[in-house]
Structure 1
Amino acid sequence: MPEDFGIPFPHRCSPDLPAARTHTIRWLRSHGLLRDELAEKRFTAMALAEVSAYAYPDATGAELDVVTDAVSWIAICDDLLDELDVRDPEALHRAWAFQQQCFASLDAWLAGRPAPGATPLDDLLSRLGTGMTQTWRDRFADGLRRWFWSSVDAAFLRPANAVLSLHTYRVLCRETNGNRFFFPLTERAGGFEAPAALFGHPHFEAVHAAADELVAFVQAVHSMDVEEARGDHHNLVLVLEHQLRCSRAEATTAALAEITAAKDRFLHLTASLPQVYDQLDFTPAPRAAAERYVDGMRDIIAAARDYGTESSRYQVVGR
């Protein structure tokens, strides 16, 4: 299995990785999310501080701390939703209550009201919003809501034990990988905002879609063994194996071809972004901010490529 997937973006890492790891362990412990030494060892093995430092390599100090906290919190929530059994009424009620609590926190944050509680998300939002406009907050909150809803949808599909069609899988994984709030964290980490006119432009939405697929498909290849071991068929390789009625090796080859297609589409679309900037009459400042955002997308894609070989989240226990 090629570890670089033909992705041409360099590996980059913030020099403040060790300090951010120490900070986030302390932050998670303060919110009761790491309760003992074993939990801390498991967290460290997940390499969430590493993926944050790879995805936001220019961030240092408090900026890297807050995005590492955010990435870690989301990953913990993601693992809990992956384990959600919607056939268990109590578990389903707890998940629904947690989602509503998070949405209440988002609503208060967006409206400028005091936080409804003292949850990890309330603390995160108070720090993430510092220096950012309402437009950015709206975009970040929308990405988080979309991730919540799609993750719950995936949880309801899981018990059916049905293999999704490639089209359905493609649509679902674009949302469940959470890029629509990971990408805005590039702006928060860098202390800038991409011009609002860029979002919603058809060409830039196509860039986003290609990046979404590229990250999701790379993660799917990394996580195939883990997802198969827990009986989760929402995985690119498994979907292709079923749809093409082929061997595992042939399905893996087809998955790599999907990754190459998404990568080539991303490269082609980003190469023509200067014409989009011209259409939008961007002056040098918004043009530079747009390019910083796209550079951030490249860093996140590279982080997805590199992180998968390091994290315990992609390793089957006992293997």
Structure 2
Amino acid sequence: MPYDIDFSDPRLPNRANPELDPARSRNLTWARSHGLVHDSDRAAAAYLSMKLAEIMGVLHPDPTGEDFDLVIAAATWLIVLDDQFDGPLGQEPQIARAVCEDLIASTYRPPGTPAPPNPRYGTAWTDIMDRTAQAMPSSWYRRAMIPWRNFFRHYLYETLHRSAGIVPSVDTLLRIRRPGIAAPVGFMLIERGERFETPECVLYSPHIQAMEQLCIEVIICVNDINSLEVEDGRDDVHNLVVVLQHEQGCTRQAAIQTLRAWVPERYEQFLQLQDALPPLWDALHLTKDERNRAEQYIEGLRRYLGSTQHWYTDNQRFEVGGTTSAALYSNPTWLMDAYQKNPQTAADS
């Protein structure tokens, strides 16, 4: 990790899921069963060093059993997919488009209907979709797939930039990264992990959407500062520090200091918006149950706002020469290989 910056704020929640240890073990078994992690001691050690269960336990301290397992499994799939696009796949727009379009198409499969038996993107994602639909209404599931689609789409546009040697503007990068940092997927998991629905009039309120965007931008800042050295090592320009430095013609340290100042500013803006929520609940005429569910969602956002930094502490994923795809996967380019011979989407074939 290149810069030892403490972004913690004592006003924000910080507690861990008590089921962490058994859930971590179950997750490794699940990841191996779907071929996401190579079945070796070396791969297991590399995978566990990324501390996915630990960060999901801080972000989601209340889900238990299968619900907590699903939350961690979703994080596993996000990271595995990210590693694939950080490799050769992320330089091949035609193949990237085929992968993204297949994944997006899969989200329209109605829950409970048969999935393709051997999808080229593997069985883990199908399993996650089916488990996400469990215990939740179909209307919620349809909404829950929207952030996943947006997450899949962002990979194509990052790939287009890389292949063309384009350094995006700060505005363009943020448009790509807001869905691409996967925080909106995490916000959906707040509801799924605790099995509740946030009232739609709350979710679509500009007030709540502003709070979500502040949270997302904090996560981008924290991630991009902490992952800077690793991304430098693969010449990846999709980093807010790099783009800010390029756009403003400033030093790297100046760009980092700019982002460092953004984080507490956004904390303050978020907390000010939080203080203004009771009049919003009154204006929306929320029932007691609706208000409780709205507050439950806001508490989840507060955890994402204040606890993301924990993932970057003593984590080999963010150290140069740390966890690598070669250590995790029996074939580090398995997804590209599955599409390379025929970069055609399921819909085209």
What TM-score do the two structures reach when normalised by structure 1? Answer: 0.92
TM-superposed deviation, 1:6: 4.4
**What corresponds to 1:116 in structure 2?**
116
TM-superposed deviation, 1:36: 2.5
Q: 1:293 and 2:294 equivalent?
A: no
Runs of 4+ in 1 over 6 A off after TM superposition: none
Pairing partner for 1:33 from 26, 33, 36: 36
Pairing partner for 2:151 from 126, 142, 147: 147
Identity among equivalent pairs (%): 31
Asked which structure has the greater RCO (Cα within 8 Å, sep 6+), the reply is 2
**What corresponds to 1:106 in structure 2?**
107
Task: Confirm or deny: 8 A CA contact 1:28 1:34 kept in the other structure.
Answer: yes
Task: Confirm or deny: 8 A CA contact 2:147 2:185 kept in the other structure.
Answer: yes
Deviations 1:30-74 (A, max 9, x none): 111122322212111111111111110112222111111111111
**What corresponds to 1:200 in structure 2?**
204
CA distance in 1, matches of 2:166, 2:102: 31
Q: 1:14 and 2:17 equivalent?
A: yes
TM-superposed deviation, 1:316: 1.1
Task: Confirm or deny: 8 A CA contact 1:183 1:297 kept in the other structure.
Answer: yes
Tell me which amino acid in the other structure corresponds to 2:36. L
2:49 aligns to what SS in structure 1? helix
Task: Map 1:231-250 to 2 at 5 A.
Answer: 231-250=235-254
Task: Confirm or deny: 8 A CA contact 2:13 2:307 kept in the other structure.
Answer: no
TM-superposed deviation, 1:85: 4.2
Closer/same/farther in 2, CA of residues 245 and 6 from structure 1, 3 Å limit: farther
Pairing partner for 1:283 from 278, 287, 290: 287
Closer/same/farther in 2, CA of residues 7 and 307 from structure 1, 3 Å limit: farther
Closer/same/farther in 2, CA of residues 193 and 131 from structure 1, 3 Å limit: same
Structure 1 spans left out of the alignment, 5+ residues: none
Deviations 1:109-157 (A, max 9, x none): 35x5222236111111221111112232122100000001012211211
TM-superposed deviation, 1:88: 4.2
Task: Confirm or deny: 8 A CA contact 1:14 1:53 kept in the other structure.
Answer: yes
Tell me which amino acid in the other structure corresponds to 2:86. D
Aligned length, in residue pairs: 315
CA distance in 1, matches of 2:172, 2:24: 36
Task: Confirm or deny: 8 A CA contact 1:165 1:239 kept in the other structure.
Answer: yes
CA distance in 1, matches of 2:138, 2:322: 47
**What corresponds to 1:214 in structure 2?**
218
Tell me which amino acid in the other structure corresponds to 1:78. D
Pairing partner for 2:309 from 299, 305, 310: 305
Structure 2 spans left out of the alignment, 5+ residues: 324-349
Task: Confirm or deny: 8 A CA contact 1:13 1:54 kept in the other structure.
Answer: yes
Task: Confirm or deny: 8 A CA contact 1:14 1:57 kept in the other structure.
Answer: yes
2:238 aligns to what SS in structure 1? coil
Pairing partner for 2:47 from 40, 43, 46: 43
CA distance in 2, matches of 1:100, 1:88: 14
Q: More deviation in 77-86 or 279-288?
A: 77-86
1:109 aligns to what SS in structure 2? coil
Task: Confirm or deny: 8 A CA contact 1:46 1:312 kept in the other structure.
Answer: yes
CA distance in 2, matches of 1:162, 1:5: 34
1:261 aligns to what SS in structure 2? helix
TM-superposed deviation, 1:5: 5.0
CA distance in 2, matches of 1:187, 1:209: 18
CA distance in 1, matches of 2:322, 2:208: 43
1:107 aligns to what SS in structure 2? coil
Closer/same/farther in 2, CA of residues 266 and 245 from structure 1, 3 Å limit: same
CA distance in 2, matches of 1:122, 1:107: 12
Closer/same/farther in 2, CA of residues 73 and 198 from structure 1, 3 Å limit: same
Tell me which amino acid in the other structure corresponds to 2:107. L
Task: Confirm or deny: 8 A CA contact 1:194 1:286 kept in the other structure.
Answer: yes
Larger fraction in helix: 1
Deviations 1:179-230 (A, max 9, x none): 1111010111112111121122111111111111111111111111111121
Task: Confirm or deny: 8 A CA contact 1:14 1:54 kept in the other structure.
Answer: yes
Task: Map 1:246-265 to 2 at 5 A.
Answer: 246-265=250-269
